[in-house]
Homo-oligomer: A and B are copies of this chain.
Amino acid sequence: MLFANGSFTIKMSNEFEKQEMNVTGEGFLPGLAIDTVIFGFHDNKLKVLLLTYKNTGLFALPGGFIRINEDVNEAARRVLYSRTGLIDIFLDQFYVFGDKSRHDIAPLKTIMQAREFTPDDNHWLLKRFVSIGFYALVDFTKAIPTPDSISDSCDWFELDDLPVLMQDHRQIIDKALQTLQTNLDHKLIGFNLLSENFTMGDLQSLYETILNKKLIRAAFQRKMLSSGILERVAKKWTGGAHKAPYLYRFMAGR
């Protein structure tokens, strides 16, 4: 979770300060948050976007709240857009995290106090939140990681080298990965993590990384080609001491 987007300006009245002063959470659905696991792929590694909060050393998933006049899915798109600048991206709900045990105000207080704000104990941000988990698949090269108004950075972290995360965010990521793994074949969503054009090798490396196992090259290629969702682009790639592979792209018409 943590702090809806902001118009990301430097002036005082940014989104978060509005939220801090907004003691009752006016304008947002109460007790409901969104957490977004944004996956990227680079150097044969799966990555996720994390925020770091000023002066606290705390790491968290990008998240936000739902406006009174906004669909839940819209809110998730807004969060995704505000952290990456991307629209029209694969984004899906995967689980609701609603255990009462996840209510832990300590990290929030730390963040607020680092900003020299001491909230009242019944400030809305300190109440129990149920969070709707979304996962997104983005083109690593297109996303522009953008911190929100109270975090000093928004960066990619390797999935197998994550820092300790706030609250239950680690479990949220684990569950998102699990969902990605089970949906990868069934929904054929992998190419959402690649650039528009990619080689068969790129695609296979991606699959192997996500599923964490080796795949058979000939069989993989045959399966992908016969799936009918790939289109061979006329141009070829160049850059290695070997036969040039074709470039493929996802066929929209399906």
Number of contact residues on A: which range applies?
20 to 34
- Chain B min CB distance to A50 (Å): 23
**13 A/B residue pairs, CB under 8 Å, sorted by A:** A29-B130, A30-B30, A30-B31, A31-B31, A31-B32, A32-B130, A66-B98, A69-B100, A70-B100, A72-B99, A73-B98, A98-B132, A182-B186
Dominant secondary structure at the A interface: mixed
- Chain A, range 135-174, C-beta contacts under 8 Å to B: none
Cβ proximity bits A41-74 to B, threshold 8 Å, 1 near / 0 not: 0000000000000000000000000101111110
Are A96 and B72 in contact (CB-based, < 8 A)?
Answer: yes
B69, B72, B95, B101: which contacts A130 (Cβ < 8 A)? B72
Given A30-B31, A130-B29, the answer on whether A71 and B93 have CB atoms closer than 8 Å is no
Cα(A95)–Cα(B95), bound, Å: 8
Given contacts A30-B30, A71-B101, A98-B132, 5 further A-B contacts (CB under 8 A): A29-B128, A29-B130, A71-B99, A72-B98, A72-B130
